[in-house]
Amino acid sequence: MNAVVQGHRRLVEVLSELTDDQVAAPSLLPGWSRGHVLAHLTDNARAFARVSALALRGELVDAYDGGSEERDAIIEGLAGSSADQHRAAVARHSAALEAVWSQATADDWDRPVRFRNGDLAGIVHMRWREVWIHLVDLDLGVSPREWSSEFSCHVVDFLLSRLPAGVDLRQSDGPRRWSSGGAESDGHVEISGRARDLAAWLAGRTPQQSPAGPLPDLGPWPPHPDPIPDEARRSAS
């Protein structure tokens, strides 16, 4: 949870001098303005706070009762908000999410949630990814170079299924290795790079240094209810 709190603080800091013109300008996600990204981050916090609060009471609910149509409508409705409105909403809902999580005990993180058919700890990890990846998409000065080694390795773990069979990844600035499996190890192709660069590449974002090795086409993201527009999904992959 502390890592998510740090991400929230960085997000609030980045938005401190945001202007209305910047809100309306395109983000790095095709088809989405910065306002769309901010609306998504805000409502994602709201939805996760609801799911988490009810999970702590033993209740299982969908993140959105109306499914993807409700989710998309909320984002479209909030995207055109002013910079001040976005700033206030991001701060308010992020703090509310943190407040819900602060009520959890060590045993509560294993509580089931309907979201991804996972557990409460999975919601925390999801928010961690949402904040730091979309901070890059805002194109307001944050790049994958700010991603910690812990976060970067987590992203690689999560996105490893995007690799075709027979590809190994080697972290050049640490001890981690990953394999997509499928072929005999002596027939694997190896790609090496710093953890943050491997993570950025797998996430469809621009790494500071391109990983070394023959980079294959990447498959789709793991099943993901995140309402990123189709154009952005194609760009990411």
pLDDT tens profile 179-227 = 997 655 456 899 999 999 999 999 999 999 999 999 999 999 987 544 4
Q: What is the pLDDT of residue 65?
A: 83
pLDDT, mean over the chain: 91
Place of tokens 């309306």: 24
Nearest one of 137, 151, 121, 189 to 14, comparing CA atoms: 137
CA distances from 108 to 93, 101, 119 (A): 21, 10, 9
Spatial separation of the C-alpha atoms in residues 194 and 208, rounded to whole Å: 10
Name the DSSP class of 119: B
* Ranges in the chain, pLDDT < 70: 182-187, 224-237
3-class secondary-structure state, position 229: coil
Query: What residues contact 212, with CB distance under 8 A and at least 6 apart?
Result: 172, 191, 192, 193
Strand segments, DSSP code E, in the chain are: 167-171, 177-179, 189-193
The pTM score is 0.91
